[in-house]
Amino acid sequence: MPQMTVLEILNRTKVFFEKKGVPDARLDAEYIICFGLGIKKRMDLYLNFDKPLSAAELDKLRPLVARRANREPLQHIVGDTSFRGHTIKCDTRALVPRPETEELVDMAKERLASVATPFIVEIGTGTGAIAIACAKEIPGAKVLATDVSAEALALAKENADANETPIEFAQGDLLDAVSGEAMAKAAGDASAKIDSLIANLPYIPDGEKGKLQPEVDKFDPELALYGGPDGLSLVRKMLKQTEGRLSAGASILLEIGSEQASVLESEAASYPWLEFTGIHKDFCGNIRFVSYKAK
């Protein structure tokens, strides 16, 4: 049998992925083949379309293709993703950071532009992506990142080390993790006030369990996904805990589900120390974030 070329393998993989319901079948086929063959840029794959593949190369590709066909996320297979250009290792210990979430960091940057050494707290850090981006991109930032999951925190620490970002981590439920001891380590003051509180907490309603796409349902940790009957249980609990913890004018920036924004707006009076400052869309035009300002 004549050897198959890169292009033939690419086409076969694409068709196989389509059959298995993989979203973006062609693109993921390209990424998997690049990864398996050690090709750094997709452009270089195009330049190699006519190259015949050796048996050894095919042996390398087969298990990778099988994993993606089983709907394992691409980011788990290749081992990392890019979040605002920072390389973030991804595995089953934490949710794969989504591109939409990157905008939370822009929102924080804008609001902290005139604060010299802002104390930023991220609740539910997962891989650490948001905290790492804040530490890298916001001058003078002191960052404390928390999670209830020890596994997620272990991964976040590996990512912070790999990105050479000095972040303080603490484990615990929501703001309980932001203890005097944790603040002393992160901000040098056990009674520090938070200048920006950022969170992408689990917000999928419990009723959606088992209905999500397999990449999420089977491979993202359940602890990272579900937020109670209407998805907002953790968000409400955290907002209540913010009383007295924020500096004047501090921001709270939350990623939420699109239908949850107006619910939070209608409940704004439950938190009289906060001003509801807006519902924000992501780059796809979907409602994705809400913001508050401390009075």
Interacting residues toward ligand SAH by CB under 6 A: 94-95, 97, 101, 123-127, 129-130, 146-149, 152, 173-174, 200-202, 223-224, 234
Residue closer to ligand SAH, measured from CB, 65 or 153: 153
Q: How far apart are CA 17 and CA 59, in angstroms?
A: 18
Nearest approach, Cβ of residue 50 and ligand SAH (Å): 40
Q: Are 65 and 19 in contact (CB under 8 A)?
A: no
Q: Which two tokens stand for residue 4?
A: 């198959």
Residue closer to ligand SAH, measured from CB, 9 or 107: 107
Residue closer to ligand SAH, measured from CB, 17 or 226: 226
Residue closer to ligand SAH, measured from CB, 36 or 231: 231
Four-CA torsion 186, 173, 223, 195, nearest 10 degrees: -40
Nearest approach, Cβ of residue 171 and ligand SAH (Å): 9
Q: How far apart are CA 155 and CA 171, in angstroms?
A: 13
Nearest approach, Cβ of residue 62 and ligand SAH (Å): 31
Q: How far apart are CA 152 and CA 237, in angstroms?
A: 21
According to DSSP, residue 269 is labeled G
Residue closer to ligand SAH, measured from CB, 276 or 289: 289
Nearest approach, Cβ of residue 103 and ligand SAH (Å): 11
Q: How far apart are CA 174 and CA 167, in angstroms?
A: 17
Nearest approach, Cβ of residue 194 and ligand SAH (Å): 15
Residue closer to ligand SAH, measured from CB, 149 or 291: 149
Q: What is the DSSP string of 159-187?
A: HHHHTT--EEEEESSGGGGS-HHHHHHHH
SS3 234: helix
Nearest approach, Cβ of residue 93 and ligand SAH (Å): 9
